[in-house]
Amino acid sequence: IRDSTAGVGTLTFYCPLNGAYGALGHPITDIDTGEMLSVSSGKIVPSKIISVQPGVRGKPGELRGLFIESEDELGNISKNTACGIYGVASKKIENNIYTEPISVAFQSDIKEGPAKILTTVDGTDVKSYDIVIEKLTNQAKPNPKSMIIRITDPELLQKTGGIVQGMSG
């Protein structure tokens, strides 16, 4: 039985009207068994990325961060699902790129080809990076593996070697 777990992850969406958010894009799992953890309660807190362990073929890298404990928690975790964690923010979640909300795309709006991802790989600032969506998978029900992307941004490739743990979402 696990009584706690912690990790750095990416916020997928946030609705400023009601505070609802989703994050990770995959479930929180037991480090030993790989099984999805049952979550009775939890919280999200601000973090600062302090280093990146770049990925190499056959071994995923990871974002390494610290929780900023001097700041208030950002919200609760009420659900852990195959597609990520969900909850309600207890305060406004802001970033350094967008001052106004942007819409989450429907599956039918997403096309293969050049695109952008937003992520933080150093400190707390969100940056935009170039990618290519190489393949989309049509889904009849929610599934965390909906597309294959390739990082094309030279700066992001230099820092991470590609997608690393902590960037999904």
Condensed to tens digits (0 to 9), the pLDDT of residues 59-114 reads 888 889 888 877 788 999 999 988 889 999 999 988 889 888 888 888 889 999 99
Active-site residue, 108 included: no
Average pLDDT in the chain:
87
The catalytically annotated residue of 78, 90, 146, 168 is: 168
The catalytically annotated residue of 26, 30, 38, 72 is: 26
Active-site residue, 90 included: no
| pLDDT value at 141 more than 90 | no
Question: How many Cβ atoms from other residues are within 10 Å of residue 91's Cβ?
Answer: 11
Q: Round to whole Å and give the CA distance between 31 and 49.
A: 21
On whether residue 168 sits in a domain, the answer given is: no
The catalytically annotated residue of 78, 130, 146, 153 is: 153
On whether residue 101 sits in a domain, the answer given is: no
Active-site residue, 32 included: no
On whether residue 68 sits in a domain, the answer given is: yes
- For residue 25, which amino acid is it? G
On whether residue 118 sits in a domain, the answer given is: yes
pTM of the shown model: 0.83
Q: What is the pLDDT of residue 3?
A: 62
| pLDDT value at 155 more than 90 | yes
For 26-42, what is each residue's pLDDT tens digit?
A: 888 877 888 888 887 88
On whether residue 166 sits in a domain, the answer given is: no
* Cα–Cα distances in angstroms (integers) from residue 96 to residues 9, 50, 93, 128, 132, in the given order: 17, 18, 11, 11, 24
On whether residue 144 sits in a domain, the answer given is: yes
Question: How many Cβ atoms from other residues are within 10 Å of residue 131's Cβ?
Answer: 18
On whether residue 32 sits in a domain, the answer given is: yes
> What's the average model confidence in pLDDT over 41-54?
89
- Structural domain that includes position 60: 11-94+106-160
Number of compact structural domains in the chain: 1
